Chains A and B, each alone.
Chain A
Amino acid sequence: MGMEMTNREKLVLIGNGVAGMNTIEQIMKLDPDKYEITVIGKEPHPNYNRIQLSYLLEGSKTFDEMILNDYSWYERNGVTLCAGIAAERIDLASKFVHMSDGTTVSYDRLLIATGSKPFMLPIPGIDKEGIVGFRDVQDCERMKAAASTCRKAAVIGGGLLGLEAAKGLLKLGMEVTVVHLFSDLMERQLDTTASTMLRAELEGQGLRFLMNKKTVEISGDERVKSLRFEDGTELETDFLVMAAGIVPDTALARECGLETARGIIVNDYMQTSDTHVYAVGECNQHRGVSYGLVAPLFEQGSVLAKHLCGVPTEPYQGSVVSTKLKISGVDVFSAGEFQDAPGLDVIRTQDNWSKTYKKVLLRDNRIVGCVLFGDVHDSAQLFKWVKAEEAMTREIHEQLTGSAHIEGADPLAFVTAMPADEIVCGCNGVTKGMIVQAITDQGLSTVDEIKACTGASRSCGGCKPMVEQILALTLGDRYEGSKNAVETLCGCTTHSREDVIAAIRDKRLTHVREVMNVLEWHNPEGCTKCRPAINYYIGMVWPEVFEDEKDSRFVNERLHANIQKDGTYSVVPRMYGGVTTPEQLRKIADVADKYEVKMVKVTGGQRLDLLGVKKEDLPHVWEELGMPSGYAYAKAIRTVKTCVGSTFCRFGTQDSISMGILLEKKFERLWMPAKFKMAVNGCPRNCAEAEIKDFGIIGNDGGWEIYVGGNGGVKLRAADLLCKVKTDEELIELAGAFIQFYRETGKYGERTSDWIERIGLQAIIQEIVDNLERRKELVERIEQALQGLHDPWKEVVEQEGLQHQLYETLQVK
């Protein structure tokens, strides 16, 4: 870092959150040497993306993935961070901030960005245990802890935050009831129609709702036990999340005498009533408005940063906001005005079959708001029109009411007109200018590359259509178009998956490096996206000569164990059909003791998982277990879950266990585009959950029903009925044909649930059910691929060379 410059002004930021740190980042870009910067942050973390707390809660993102500026960022930029320390008092006269650790820091300019706090209802019992807001990492951790000890949760507030909290808790296995004061969910963003559709969708996902309920008391001893409502009814609960709104955190500002109302009052340059003090983000109030979303904060930060660096800027004039709910399976969008009202004209299309709804509101023939449900493809375009208050024309009207997509005479007109410093990705504060620059400087040609390079579209994804349009605009003729554009394997090449497979086939390529060389990869060494994919495609096309390339495998598939976050591994031995023996269990117990395994866990697929094994111990653990690998780490058959079936169950009509074991033994070890799960049930009671498996089987009196493409993971999808068969032979044949068809046509990493939606159930039925010839060919090819597969654990145990190369650590004295 450069020498300390004596003439640098001192800038102090209170609040290490999204708005404040974005302003600092912008300042660093404009004039990195202007200020000596100190950041005071109450949370013991570097700056993270608060909106992703919803993902942290439901477990689809780790905290590390949410960090925006890690500790080394502060270090590299010479910004002093006091993390875990609160500002306690501001002294405007002598320009000092007093901190909770007893120290003080002086400033020339002070920036307050303290955000907001959850609004806690002022009712009796609000101070009991088991009540949290939803604002920071700590709240998230409390919710997760509650989910593992309590069963019932209530969420007060049916707005964006409340619904995301509720969905997260539901995902963590709680029984969740959302209590809402009004008759419509998200009543500040949605009209009654959209809100009703939203509620139906969420009820379908398993949430419960109590509408029109005003909570007046919380009872229980130390801990919350029940809620009492104004109408005298009650709701029992073990845990309560308050999401009834947020309040700008103005305490510091009010105490030191700055002018405040709901928020800290600022002018168009974010300046407070003291000219040396600024406020940005949710804590401020600009022209009467305090915002509760990130996009306006970036716009404020951009004006403020320029102002602080002496760069000429337009004043900030307020923002039009849009809302998108981050719950999978629910697409809602709203912007601007959304309620029917006198003086507004409304264009409305509602389709109860496809569950979509589109409403556009006009005032004096200008577009002032919209609500979308179910299909939000047009959101970016509509949002632009709302912001610009675009006049309604015949063309726009035709586009809106005609086909599902808006394809104007010049769809790019609005991105063309957009100023370079306008924010495109509200979640990550990426402007049009930054995207254009990345495209031209780095030669980018896909949205994915833009995402990797700038961060745009990597959070909620709402801005993706607009990023795509900017790409089209910037590339001009070189742009390939989103729908007819070939999807390339990854950023290292312009070739598609189809090209790659054709080349492997036609030119008989059998090594990953050979493929990258022949197809002239512009990143000659490839990346984590293309190399494992090519390796898989080679094995799929040339099973008989394929030699697995370990250096093109992810760690799990290279080492045949799952890496854990602490660098240890987990070991899941095969237990065919979920059936084990006392002898196996004894052996597992002995191994677990001997190698000090940290936990033995029964998995969702009816296997035992030994967690916390050291890498060096893996070969010994396998040797002593003497069981084959369960492939719990691999893109391959994971498990075949079975119910007890006719062997024991009084309802059983088919021997589900034997069928499960047979299928598992037949298809194990085969590499697939993605992991593959199966289930076999003895009767339609479906105890082994066929509907959420890639290949699920339900037995009945006359044979078997086959369900395909189910998924119980992040994106829940119920399986589709493929066909019914009468004999075991036919079932096995269809399983083989289905798996092989998926292996040949699936993209690497694509689960069957996405694959089916891409190529269509009918196409699959045609190929493997109706066309007996094709079915036979597929079965022949899978039989060939199945030959010569070996248990990888045994291979390692038997080959000292492999152990030495891959598992041993070198010890140096």
Chain B
Amino acid sequence: MEIVKIENQVSYHSVGNVEDFPLHLGKVVHIEGGPEIAVFRVAERTLYALENRTGHKKGGPLAEGLVSGEYVYCPLRDCKISLLTGEVQLPDTGRVSVYPLRLDGDVVLVGERAANEASEG
């Protein structure tokens, strides 16, 4: 995998241009050899990257969910997931991996390691 940028020990890949991502919707990004990622563009220049499956074992492709502010609803089970933390909201439970995302000009960079993994001891 080609690594574009390293910051705080996380390597970032360029996944496309801001304009490649439809506003208020999610889009699937395949990083070769890596996990499938869903990138959500919630405002002109605000984007989030999550693993493209809901917290659930047989969870659906998150990228197809309805985006509401900083949350996305699972397209198959309608549970509500925070785009910031990946936390599934009550009464459902679970968590989806969140990936760090940076903008470099108009280029969207997604970090390799989930930001909310291994953060708890």
Q: Which residues of A contact B (CB under 8 A)?
A: 1, 3, 64-65, 69-73, 76, 452-455, 523-528, 531-532, 550-555, 558-559, 563, 565, 567, 804-806, 809-813
Contacts and interface: CB of A to CB of B under 8 A. Distances in A.
A73 B29 contact: no
B120 A1 contact: yes
B16 A810 contact: yes
Nearest to B59: A64
6 contacts: A69-B93, A551-B66, A553-B66, A563-B60, A563-B61, A810-B28
Given A809-B28, A810-B20, A65 B13 contact: no
Q: Which of A64, A455, A812 has the most CB of B within 10 A?
A: A812
Interface of B: 1-2, 13-16, 20, 22-25, 27-32, 55-58, 60-61, 64-69, 71, 73, 75-78, 80, 90-91, 93-95, 120-121
A524 B90 CA distance: 19
A72 B55 contact: yes
A68 B120 CA distance: 24
Given A64-B77, A528-B78, A810-B27, 19 more contacts: A64-B58, A70-B57, A70-B94, A72-B55, A453-B91, A455-B91, A526-B68, A527-B66, A527-B73, A551-B67, A555-B65, A559-B64, A565-B76, A809-B28, A809-B30, A812-B29, A812-B30, A813-B1, A813-B32
Given A527-B73, A813-B32, A554 B91 contact: no
B56 A805 contact: no
Contacts of B76: 563, 565
Nearest to B70: A525
- List the 8 closest pairs (A to B, CB-CB), nearest first: A525-B69, A551-B24, A555-B64, A525-B68, A809-B28, A805-B22, A555-B75, A567-B61
Q: Which of A73, A453, A454, A528 has the most CB of B within 10 A?
A: A528
Contacts of A553: 66
Contacts of B61: 563, 567
A809 to B, nearest CB: 4
A64 B57 contact: yes
Nearest to B22: A805
Contacts of A550: 22, 25
Contacts of A551: 22-25, 66-67
A452 B64 contact: no
Contact of B66 (A65, A528, A812): A528
A76 B56 CA distance: 14
Contact of A563 (B24, B66, B75): B75
Given A1-B120, A810-B28, A531 B66 contact: yes
Given A550-B25, A812-B15, A64 B56 contact: yes
A811 B91 CA distance: 35
A527 B57 CA distance: 23
A555 B15 CA distance: 23
A565 B76 CA distance: 7
A552 B29 CA distance: 22
B14 A812 contact: yes
A372 B81 CA distance: 42
A465 B100 CA distance: 46
B118 to A, nearest CB: 12
A73 B25 contact: no
A811 B22 CA distance: 16
A680 to B, nearest CB: 34
B78 to A, nearest CB: 6
A524 B69 contact: yes
A76 B93 CA distance: 10
Contacts of A524: 69
B73 A812 contact: no
A523 B73 CA distance: 14
Given A528-B73, A565-B60, A810 B25 contact: no
A72 B78 contact: no
B66 A554 contact: yes
Nearest to B15: A812
Q: Which of A1, A565, A810 has the most CB of B within 10 A?
A: A810
A812 B65 CA distance: 22
A121 B31 CA distance: 58
Nearest to B72: A528
A453 B91 CA distance: 5
B107 to A, nearest CB: 12
A810 to B, nearest CB: 5
A557 to B, nearest CB: 11
A796 to B, nearest CB: 14
A809 B64 CA distance: 12
A558 B76 CA distance: 14
B90 to A, nearest CB: 7
Contacts of B69: 523-525
A525 B82 CA distance: 13
A461 to B, nearest CB: 16
A811 B32 contact: yes
A396 B24 CA distance: 56
Contacts of B30: 809-812
A71 B95 CA distance: 11
Contacts of A3: 121
A531 B58 contact: no
Contacts of B67: 551
A720 to B, nearest CB: 32
B76 to A, nearest CB: 7
Nearest to B73: A528
Contacts of A532: 66
Nearest to B36: A809
Nearest to A813: B32
Contact of B68 (A71, A531, A559): A531
A5 to B, nearest CB: 14
A76 B87 CA distance: 12
A804 B20 CA distance: 8
A382 B16 CA distance: 63
Q: Which of A524, A526, A809 has the most CB of B within 10 A?
A: A809
Contacts of A452: 91
Nearest to B56: A64
Nearest to A68: B93
Nearest to A1: B120
Nearest to B58: A64
A72 B75 contact: no
A527 B66 CA distance: 8
Contacts of A552: 66
Given A550-B25, A809-B28, A812-B31, A72 B68 contact: no
Contact of B91 (A454, A523, A559, A810): A454
B114 to A, nearest CB: 14
B86 to A, nearest CB: 11
Contacts of B65: 555
Contacts of B2: 813
Given A64-B58, A528-B73, A809-B28, A72 B93 contact: yes
Nearest to A524: B69
A213 B49 CA distance: 63
A76 B90 CA distance: 14
Contacts of A72: 55, 93-95
Contacts of B58: 64, 565
Contacts of B60: 563, 565, 567
A809 B29 contact: yes
A534 to B, nearest CB: 12
A3 B120 CA distance: 11
A812 B111 CA distance: 13
A553 B94 CA distance: 25
Contacts of A805: 22, 25
Contacts of B121: 1, 3
Contacts of A806: 22, 25
Contacts of B68: 523, 525-528, 531
Nearest to A810: B29
A452 B55 CA distance: 18
A22 to B, nearest CB: 15
A437 to B, nearest CB: 13
Contacts of B24: 551
A552 B120 CA distance: 36
